[in-house]
Amino acid sequence: MTPVLETQKLCKSFGALTVAQNIDFRLYAGDRHALIGPNGAGKTTFVNMLMGALAPSSGRIHLGGEDVTRVRQAQRVKRGLGRTFQINALFKQLPVLDNVALGIAERRGEAPHMWRPASSHREVIQEAQELLSTLGLGDDARIPVKDLPYGKQRLVEIAIALGLSPKVLLLDEPAAGVPSMESERILKVLDRLPPEIAILIIEHDMDLVFRFARRITVLVQGEVLTEGAPGEIAHDRRVHQVYLGEQHHA
Amino acid sequence: MILYVISVGLSVTMGLMGFINLAHGVFAMAGGYVFATSLGRLGLPFPVALVAAFLFTALLSIALERLLYSRLYSAGELAQVLFTIGLIFMSVAVARALYGTLAPPVFLPDYLRGQVHVLGRDFPTYRVFIIVFSFLIILGLWFGVERTRWGAMVRAAVDHRAMAQSVGINTRLLFTLTFALGSGLAGLGGGLGADIIAVQPSYPSEHLVFFLIVVALGGLGSLRGPFIAALLLGIADTACKYWVPELGAFLIYAATIGVLLWRPMGLFGTRV
Amino acid sequence: MNANLTGYTGDPRIRLTEWLPWIVAAAAFFLLPEYLALGVRILIFILFALSLDLILGYAGIITLGHSAFFGLGAYVAGCLSAKAGVSDPFVQLAAAAGAAGLLGVLTGAVILRTRALTLLMLTMAITSILLEIANKWTSMTGGADGLSGVTVAPILGAFKFDLFGRVAFIYCLAALFVAWLLVRRLIYSPFGAMLTGMRENTMRMHAVGAPVYMRLIAVYTISAVMAGVAGALLTQTNQFVGLNVLGFELAGELLVMLILGGVGRIYGAFVGPVVYLVVQDYLAKQFPEYWYFGIGFILVLVVIFAPGGILGLLDKIRLGGRSS
């Protein structure tokens, strides 16, 4: 079975500083894969390279079997790659519906239309509304994002990515900064994500990781330390060492 | 070369402080006027006039920075652009009111006039002086920024202001002083160059493009960059005026666009 | 910025208050016949400001180079008439629009890869290049003396420009009306929503698959065409074109006009020029030395205390102090 997302010997250096070294990574359809590692391990850099926001120094990236190492971000998105940002990247002044609709319109190719008003593009609006409803944001459609509590904003972040109908979804710390009362809602959403999407989640919250992931990769100082099922990782002594003092729960 | 001295001040404020100060030419103009007035009407000796130009401009910039600029550090590029354009308009009006539209005459001291014999050719003394002086300034600046604590503090404060503050660096004072230095240098440049580049009310807007070109070509956040850029531009400009005078500054602009396409961060830029 | 009115949740129907500018214009035509020349100038600058608002207020690109398109349009119309003898007004407009559009596409492709300072500098450099050309190519442009002898044939074969500016006013008003309709369509369309998105969060736009660069070039070109038409209108109504159309002062003044009115809301481009040019007409004659100073001063004040311009202030008052 071909992986939907694959990297081969991915490396990235900024001058003398190496942030990624020979990362081999494979993600298959329907995977629930977590990427963990101490702060500064290079996780977000890795995601940025996968998305095409950052060019690798060497190595290859394959999306859906095709080499996308040189392909621009917007193109990769069109081919089914979506992401959320660790720090919200939302259109804060705009209503929730618009935030999601922008991505849906891009996907449907209706975004460059200059003549008919946006509000008359019924299918886009309907799809956005339905998506919001499945995430529990249905009633908030017309509220500007900046007026929502942080937990709901994180959900909008996920909603935008889902609106792109991705085949691969990269979630960068989706529950980060969310008060524990609201994070349950996010966890429920994550549980209910479409099973055919391949998901890579970066997280520090070990509860979430062990609840959600079926495979875990541990990244330390830009290199893959180990990869395996949650049970194996939990008992791996090297992982314990790396997380000495940082571990929440095993 | 004079334009380097002026532009390096801009590279300091823009590159190190991240503030788009289009009114930089205003400080150069102010320095030029002070210099000319000191030399002419006040009859002060040349070195004193230069110092006066530097000091006046630096003090003026401190006043402006405290009162106005500091409100806009986090205001976004558009606000900074608009604000500095407003400053240009105001200062042009003031200059016109005070000095009229003609450039004040510059009376160079005798020891700087005439020709100097270097490497078998005659060069105007004053131009040689400017080149040497500018070179010394670069050295001084380079040393100051790269080697001293001050330079390290400025660079730290620009990279992460809150962090620098929590380490005990007085960022406010630092920015004010750095701004004063950059603007003072502009004033110095304006004075130095007064003989060659006429000091008129249209000065800030007329030469704005050039300052920006030198900084953008040289690369923000670099001191070497604007110098080399000014050097290259100066040579190119002279060469063009010699061989194809009809094209004037046209080629300079075209070359700038060309270089920036190839290297959008400038020749030596460390940040866009 | 009234983000709630555009976009996917917006309401694109023309509200009653939006007819206000046109009512005012019609009233001015009938009630203030001595001021029609000023009125023409205002209309042209509203068009110019509108073009700048598209790129500055909606797409978020800071440029000081819009005079390039304005000036190019002005000179193309002028040269076409004075040098090539083409005096049909619509042909002149079309040529100006085409030239400005072409310049827009070409320069946009080049400079929109850069941002902030570099972009700003490049826009100024391009304008400077055009200014140099206009200055040196005296046989075509009249150099520093400007180009006179611009003739404009009667519009639609019947309406000749009269001394009082009546025909000119209606002509420019019609042009502005068309432009307004088109810009409004654009703002309310999905493309307009996307522009807002690009301005709000460019990084996110990349991450939803928007070809940001291409879209910027598109809006830049549209904006350039509008500015070019405005320039041509100026030449046609003045029957003269001079170097000042490419000058820094004009670019600065336009920026002031737009900021005064309020950026990123179509009607800022209407309010700003009206206020600016009316006040200028009155004050600049009386106190020319203070005018420039005053403009700079107002700009500084607006930037520091009222970044939303006049319309922004009105919004604040209307909403009782809540930030708009």
The Cα of C121 is separated from the nearest Cα of chain A by a number of Å equal to: 26
What's the Cα-to-Cα distance from C176 to each of A152, C26, C226, rounded to whole Å? 43, 13, 10
DSSP 8-state class, residue C137 = -
| Predicted confidence (pLDDT) per residue in B34-68, tens digit | 888 887 777 777 788 888 888 888 898 888 888 88
Test C292 with B212 for CB contact under 8 angstroms.
no
Assess contact for A74 and A28: CB atoms under 8 A: no
Percent with pLDDT over 70 in chain C: 96
pLDDT at res. C18: 85
- Tell me the pLDDT of chain C averaged across its residues: 85
pLDDT at res. C231: 94
| Predicted confidence (pLDDT) per residue in A26-67, tens digit | 999 989 999 988 877 788 889 889 988 888 889 999 998 889
Residues of C in contact with B92 (CB under 8 A): 292, 296
- Tell me the pLDDT of chain A averaged across its residues: 86
| Predicted confidence (pLDDT) per residue in B11-23, tens digit | 777 766 677 788 8
Rounded average pLDDT over C188-214: 88
Predicted confidence (pLDDT) at residue B4 exceeds the cutoff of 70: no
Residue C47: other Cβ atoms inside 10 A: 27
Cα distance between residue C310 and residue C318, in whole Å: 12
| Predicted confidence (pLDDT) per residue in A78-95, tens digit | 888 999 988 888 998 889
Residues of C in contact with A106 (CB under 8 A): 194, 208-210
Rounded average pLDDT over C101-106: 94
Q: Which of residues 242-281 of C touch B (CB under 8 A)?
A: 248-249, 252, 255-256, 259, 263
Q: How many helices (H) and strands (E) does chain B have?
A: 13, 2
Phi-psi map region of A59: left, alpha, beta (phi>0 left; psi -120 to 50 alpha): left
User: What phi and psi values does residue A141 have, to the nearest 5 degrees?
Assistant: -50, -40
For chain B, which residues make up each domain, given as ranges? 2-106+116-200
pLDDT at res. B153: 74
What's the Cα-to-Cα distance from A117 to each of A7, A96, A127, A221, rounded to whole Å? 42, 18, 17, 50
pLDDT at res. C113: 82
Closest residue on chain B to C255 (Cα) = B82
Percent with pLDDT over 70 in chain A: 97
The Cα of C95 is separated from the nearest Cα of chain A by a number of Å equal to: 24
Question: Residue C159: helix, strand or coil by DSSP?
Answer: strand
Lowest average pLDDT, out of A218-222, C9-13, C23-27, goes to C9-13
Cα distance between residue C210 and residue C206, in whole Å: 5
DSSP string, B158-191: HH-HHHHHHTT--HHHHHHHHHHHHHHHHHHHHH
Rounded average pLDDT over C295-319: 79
Residues of B in contact with C118 (CB under 8 A): 216, 260, 264-266, 272
Cα distance between residue C130 and residue C248, in whole Å: 12
Touching check for C138 and chain B: CB below 8 Å?
no
Cα distance between residue C271 and residue C281, in whole Å: 16
Percent with pLDDT over 90 in chain B: 0
Among the listed residues C172, C6, C208, the one whose alpha carbon sits nearest the alpha carbon of residue C93: C172
Predicted confidence (pLDDT) at residue C311 exceeds the cutoff of 50: yes
Predicted confidence (pLDDT) at residue A157 exceeds the cutoff of 60: yes
Predicted confidence (pLDDT) at residue C4 exceeds the cutoff of 60: no
Cα distance between residue A170 and residue A185, in whole Å: 19
Cα distance between residue A247 and residue A233, in whole Å: 13
| Predicted confidence (pLDDT) per residue in C44-74, tens digit | 999 999 999 999 888 888 888 899 999 999 9
- What confidence category does residue C2 fall into, taking pLDDT thresholds of 50, 70 and 90? very low
Among the listed residues B263, B186, B162, B157, the one whose alpha carbon sits nearest the alpha carbon of residue B5: B186
pLDDT at res. A127: 92
Cα distance between residue B61 and residue B57, in whole Å: 6
User: What phi and psi values does residue A179 have, to the nearest 5 degrees?
Assistant: -60, 145
ipTM for this model: 0.81
- What confidence category does residue C322 fall into, taking pLDDT thresholds of 50, 70 and 90? very low
CB-nearest partner of C113 from B91, B249, B264: B264
Predicted confidence (pLDDT) at residue A250 exceeds the cutoff of 50: no
CB-nearest partner of A102 from C186, C193, C212: C193
- What confidence category does residue C42 fall into, taking pLDDT thresholds of 50, 70 and 90? very high
Q: SS in 3 state form for chain A? A: CCCCEEEEEEEEEECCEEEEEEEEEEECCCCEEEEECCCCCCHHHHHHHHHCCCCCCEEEEEECCEECCCCCHHHHHHCCEEEECCCCCCCCCCEHHHHHHHHHHHHHCCCCCCCCCHHHCHHHHHHHHHHHHHCCCHHHCCCEHHHCCHHHHHHHHHHHHHHCCCCEEEEECCCCCCCHHHHHHHHHHHHCCCCCCEEEEECCCHHHHHHHCCEEEEEECCEEEEEECHHHHHHCHHHHHHCCCCCCCC
The Cα of B113 is separated from the nearest Cα of chain C by a number of Å equal to: 33
Predicted confidence (pLDDT) at residue C104 exceeds the cutoff of 60: yes
Q: In what order do the strands lie in the sheet with A32-36?
A: A81-84, A168-172, A198-202, A32-36, A215-220, A223-228
The Cα of C219 is separated from the nearest Cα of chain B by a number of Å equal to: 19
User: Given 3.40.630.30, 3.40.50.300, 1.10.565.10, 2.40.40.20, which CATH number is that of A5-242?
Assistant: 3.40.50.300
CB-nearest partner of C303 from B20, B79, B257: B79
For chain C, which residues make up each domain, given as ranges? 16-285
Percent with pLDDT over 70 in chain B: 75
Residues of A in contact with C6 (CB under 8 A): 118
Q: Are strands A81-84 and A66-67 parallel, antiparallel or unpaired?
A: unpaired
B94's enclosing H/E stretch is helix B77-99
C226's enclosing H/E stretch is helix C212-238
Residues of B in contact with C66 (CB under 8 A): none
pLDDT at res. B264: 66
Test C206 with A83 for CB contact under 8 angstroms.
no
Predicted confidence (pLDDT) at residue A248 exceeds the cutoff of 60: no
Predicted confidence (pLDDT) at residue C3 exceeds the cutoff of 50: no
Q: Which of residues 86-115 of C touch B (CB under 8 A)?
A: 110, 113-115
Assess contact for A136 and A148: CB atoms under 8 A: no
Lowest average pLDDT, out of A134-138, C100-104, C201-205, C288-292, goes to C288-292
pLDDT at res. C64: 85
Touching check for C126 and chain B: CB below 8 Å?
yes
| Predicted confidence (pLDDT) per residue in A158-211, tens digit | 999 999 999 999 999 888 888 877 778 888 888 888 888 999 999 888 888 888
**What is the pTM assigned to this prediction?**
0.84
| Predicted confidence (pLDDT) per residue in B105-152, tens digit | 777 776 667 776 666 666 677 777 777 777 777 777 777 766 677 777
Residues of A in contact with C3 (CB under 8 A): 93-95, 98, 144
> Could you tell me where the beta strands, DSSP code E, fall in C119-216?
none
Among the listed residues C233, C228, C191, the one whose alpha carbon sits nearest the alpha carbon of residue C52: C228
Question: Residue C248: helix, strand or coil by DSSP?
Answer: helix
Cα distance between residue A49 and residue A45, in whole Å: 6
